[in-house]
Amino acid sequence: MTTKTTQPITPGQESERTNMDPRLEKFLRRAFKAFNRFMLLMWRLGLGSWFNYPSIGGQIMVIVHVGRKTGLRRRTPVNFAVVDGELYCTSGFGRFSDWYRNICVQPKVEVWLPHERWLGEVEDVTSASNYVRLMREVLIGSGFAARLAGINPRAMSDEDLIVATYGYRLLRIRRTAAAAGPGGPADLTWIWPLAGLILLIWMRRPFRSRR
């Protein structure tokens, strides 16, 4: 049995890649992409708060950001944690995440929390002196996502956590004002009465055919 050794890493160190196995990273990218599409649909159907369980799927919010190339609104579900009243999240694929690249160009965002909606501004705080504590809280709030990446934030030592999150980016979102207006969470709830009407019509058809 061989043991993998790793050079000491300081929080905030620049990185082109994470410490994740490339095959695992490829799998997780595909899995999270599909999961994010599902979660975004749930949010737009008004069911976002139903899927916020830290011990299972994690605490999930949606970041609404602007595409750096298209200028269009993009929505990305991410795990989060509130620490000392501040909102934090992480880019687990580091600088390679499209949404991270977008907020680097335009840090002004909108966030959908389970019961709140805010405007805010994103700041990369990967170099913060309390990086380990903050990252640990975000990863605890990520539920199964951290475990899939081979990270146990409740049991890992500070040193092991720093190594495991090599290349991750830690982000703080400073909430500036409450958000309102169209295009927010639950914008597809009109589907529910339509679906109910279609179901009612479908259920009545067999009775008509018996007459």
The pLDDT tens digits of the residues spanning 140-199 come to: 999 888 888 889 999 999 999 999 999 999 999 999 999 988 888 988 777 867 777 777
- Confidence label for 56 from pLDDT (cuts 50, 70 and 90): low
Whether residue 12 is predicted with pLDDT greater than 70 in this model: the reply is no
From CA 30, how far away is CA 90, in angstroms rounded? Answer: 18
From CA 125, how far away is CA 145, in angstroms rounded? Answer: 21
**CA 86: distance to chain centroid?**
16
Whether residue 25 is predicted with pLDDT greater than 70 in this model: the reply is yes
Q: Does domain 22-209 have CATH number 3.20.20.70?
A: no
Mean pLDDT of 83-102: 93
Q: What is the pTM of this model?
A: 0.78
Q: Any residues with CB less than 8 A from the CB of 14 and at least 6 apart, and which?
A: none
> How is the chain split into domains, by residue range?
22-209
Per-residue pLDDT, 11: 47
Per-residue pLDDT, 57: 67
- Confidence label for 38 from pLDDT (cuts 50, 70 and 90): confident
User: How many CA atoms does the CB half-sphere of 170 hold within 13 Å?
Assistant: 27
Q: What is the per-residue pLDDT across 120-153, written as a single tens digit (0 to 9) for each?
A: 999 999 999 999 999 999 999 998 888 888 899 9
Do residues 123 and 136 touch, judged by C-beta distance below 8 A? no
Per-residue pLDDT, 165: 94
Cα radius of gyration rounded to whole Å, the chain: 20
Whether residue 49 is predicted with pLDDT greater than 50 in this model: the reply is yes
190 or 83, greater pLDDT: 83
Nearest residue to 62 (alpha-carbon basis) of 25, 6, 110, 12: 110
- 20: number of Cβ within 10 Å: 21
**CA distances for 145 relative to 116, 148, 210, angstroms:** 23, 5, 52
